A and B are shown apart, each in its own frame.
Chain A
């Protein structure tokens, strides 16, 4: 892993299309701005993981689609 030191206001460039801006450093939190092409998804890791797990939990096999209750009107 590449490790770099940056100060607030300094940027990183990844490839020729992604820029990571260090906007603000306050205590133990860093505010980061990311400019990336729209086909690149940028997510907090824990959100990404939660959605991946939710998708896996939702997956069923073709021949066992469950019958769900029909809500009453």
Chain B
């Protein structure tokens, strides 16, 4: 797990932010459940890991979908983009399009999990569930 800063090259650029390729991924000091991923000239994103909030989350990809980031499956780290509305308790994660990260080589790519049944908005904090962030 990433506990220090990593510079990531996004290949291809995130949809909506195609012109930005370089981000800094770093843990958020006072909250072990989240990370920040920021471009030098903005914007910044909050990320989390599926294991913290969605332990049953399954990413199924074909090997050639990982070719962009030179990844062998055992090295894959998966992060989720978090959308934080004014009421932070209603934060959601994008399970349809996770970020797959090759930490060792500093490469990342946003995948689309076609026909997975996931959407771009899953609540992180349904009150009935308890969390543990390793």
A residues near B (Cβ < 8 Å) are 38-39, 41, 43, 47-48, 50-62, 65-73
Q: Is the CB of A60 within 8 A of B12?
A: no
Q: Is the CB of B94 within 8 A of A51?
A: yes
Number of interface residues of B (CB under 8 A): 45
**B-side interface mostly:** loop
**With A58-B45, A68-B46 known to touch, is A47 a contact of B114 (CB < 8 Å)?**
yes
B14, closest chain A residue (CB): A55
B6 contact set on A, CB distance < 8 A: none
Q: Is the CB of A72 within 8 A of B130?
A: yes
A61 contact set on B, CB distance < 8 A: 42-44
Q: In whole angstroms, how far apart are the Cα atoms of A54 and B65 in the complex?
A: 21
A-B contact pairs, 21 of them (CB 8 A): A43-B112, A47-B112, A53-B120, A54-B81, A54-B83, A55-B15, A58-B81, A58-B84, A58-B94, A59-B16, A59-B17, A60-B46, A62-B42, A65-B36, A68-B88, A69-B89, A69-B125, A71-B33, A71-B132, A71-B133, A72-B130
B93, closest chain A residue (CB): A58
**With A69-B89, A71-B131 known to touch, is A55 a contact of B17 (CB < 8 Å)?**
yes
